[in-house]
Amino acid sequence: AHGRLETLLALPLPRWRWFAAQAAVAAGMILAGGLVAGASAWAGTVASGEQLEFADAIAAGANVVPGALVVLGLGLLAFGTVPRATAVVAYGYVGAAFILEVFGSVLDLPAALLGLSVFHHVPLVPAVDAQPATTAALLAVALTTGVLGALGFARRDLTFA
C-alpha cells in the first residue's frame, strides 16, 4: 500500500472526503460491533436458560458505542496532526483510561481525574438506565476530535514511517 495514497490524493479528491470516508467506515464497524456484541450476549444468556430481553441486550451493546467513538476520534485527531504517534495516542489513552477505571476508586483518586476515563462515563446498561446527556456529550467529543483530525489531515504533508 506504500505510495498509493499519494496517487489517490493527487486526483481531484479532497483530502477531507477521503478522511471522512475512512472515518465513516471505522464508525460503522464500531456500531456493528456493539450491536453484534449485544445480540451475542442475548443469545448466550438465553442459551444458558436465563431471561434477558433482546432490546435490553441490544441497548447494552449500543451503549458502548459512544465511548468507542471517542477513542476513534482521538485516533483520527492524532492521525490528522501527528500521524506517527497515532497508535501511541489511541492505545495509550485506552490503557490509561482502563487503569484509571480499575484502580481509580481503590486509590481514592479525585473525581476530576477519574472523569478523564471514557469508561467512567459509560453507564452499565441494562442494569441502570442509559444517560442521554452523557451519550450526547461523548458523541460531541468524538465528532469534535474527528473533525479536528480531518482539518489537520487536509493541511499536512503526507509522510510515511
pLDDT band, very low/low/confident/very high, at 9 (cuts 50, 70, 90)? low
pLDDT the model gives residue 16: 86
pLDDT the model gives residue 159: 61
Q: How far apart are CA 158 and CA 9, in angstroms?
A: 10
Q: Using one digit for the tens of pLDDT, what is the confidence trace for 66-101?
A: 999 999 999 999 999 999 999 999 999 999 999 999
CA separation, residue 156 to residues 81, 114, 146, 149, 153 (Å):
7, 34, 15, 11, 5
pLDDT the model gives residue 137: 96
Q: Using one digit for the tens of pLDDT, what is the confidence trace for 14-43?
A: 888 889 999 999 999 999 999 999 999 999
> Is 89 in contact with 73 (CB distance < 8 Å)?
no
Mean pLDDT of the chain: 91
Residues sharing a CB contact under 8 Å with residue 158, sequence separation 6 or more, in sequence order: 5, 6, 9
Q: Who wins on pLDDT, 39 or 9? A: 39
Q: Who wins on pLDDT, 83 or 156? A: 83
pTM: 0.88
Judged against a pLDDT cut of 90, whether residue 102 lies above it is answered with yes
